Structure 1
């Protein structure tokens, strides 16, 4: 498979609330600061779109929908998008079955599911369009240690049980001059299937120099740890357990006032910020070439050693048909995604996501326009 370097790939990750009811936006007014007048969205096609999937992008989707409604109201048109944050797997299943117009997913649709989607797309391919990105924190509770530094190898050894104490020599070597306690490490992990778990384990595979050998997947494979359900659950568990650590979307770490480790990817410690997360994926690779499917080569993000790059970033996709929609559905899907990829990004940072840079908006918009 050929990999194509993108000069500037970035986005926004999803750290949203876990509401389970299908919903469109309840707010028909675009958020403050959004310029709706310059939108390239046509507001054409059917009025009501349906989608389901990733709960991680739920808050971003609410922002996209409210902005899109306002854009189209300005053009005298009534629209809505009902998005059910039912989980990535369910979203892909409903998309394949033709029950929804597009799916949100923490993982690209591929292999057997991609083949199944060809029937739904009337022979067309299912495309993965990365629209929402966000950083994942190594959030910890360690009294007196505010600027902990970890790397891929030490993180892997913590989460597979090889490193058991906070003052382990491998951690101490990354934290020179820091008084680390002789205290047991408690790893808190997701007890439920999770795209965050899958991405975290893929990061460990790519960055740990072989220390992580148990593979990836939506279920935690490290064989240790105390389980907690959902992003809110693991963050709350760490907040109440001195000596503990977890992997969680950064918004949950901030909500629970948890410390977040810096990551040393080989070029020095890097703090988690919008800017450092964006830099990590600016040079990311795609698994294909040209306009169309934009599936990411996540190893090129997770394994980066570029200075100032924070590599632990979650990407979520919108899964669409490249061909096979009826004319009204195609027009509406293209119109909504055009708005989401552009003016819809304006206020994402306030909700814990990282907005798409201009260079990536252009590439994404080219693929959206190519939907037949």
Structure 2
């Protein structure tokens, strides 16, 4: 890691262009197609693909650093790209552990395909452990999926959607089926993404009307409920770490903007820069102390995934915990940055105003605060008495 240079994958010039476009996409509620095109051209979609398959061969630890860097320029672009990187990250978890089945994801990413994440369903708090989407066998090893997925980031551009559904008709049912589908007439993308923040992700609702996954793209059939299968660990570990990375990047940008603002503003009362005001200095320090804790935590957990460390049952507490801490830290830092920068940050043209709206989305990603706390309580106190 010591010789890893994030600027080789995300040069300052590229970040500058992405940053310049971010307020436009937020204001117009549009997908950042140019960002995707430039990132694809730079090989960013295949950073987690092994070199022998044509990718950059980076680990999750390095990808987490890059996603923090990308989020400082455009949080919504970073969050959208996150969902593609989750699947390539899961493919890496599989290949690192000698588990076959996701090589087509790696090859597709190198070829420029865009993989979206179709797991979330309205009202389904089981998330990875259950599904309200039906998965019906087609008779040739494939499955037809019918149901509704929400928060489907990359909705206008994905070429393959990774999803899950419940098979209730096979002899060994029920089974959760994880698979990938392509865009067909059986997939209807809504036009319902008009949100407070993270607007450029275009995470629209997706309705499936018998959308078919071919046998070659059916990845896993597992029992519903908590399960040690690599698909569950792969999705949960990569998803939580990369989410934590995006929101940590937002916090870093808010901190940098606050520092920049107080250095430029001068007090009429004292004639000194606001950076010399003891109360403002305390607030900046408070932000920095909160932010500084997260990058090393994310790096340590990502390194454990890369190195196949055995954290046993503690994995889910560690992963949900780092996501929860990143979200609460980022919201706190952005709150403090708004107060530090003053009333000008309340105007919609101010970047901090956009960060303030974007950071709120973090609370709606799994694991939610209730789940994170329940997981930690069970780890330390044992399960609830029945």
TM range (shorter): under 0.3
Larger RCO (CA under 8 A, 6+ residues apart): 1
Greater share of helix residues, 1 or 2?
2
Task: Give the structure with the higher percent strand.
Answer: 1
TM-score by length of 1: 0.28
TM-score, with length taken from structure 2: 0.27
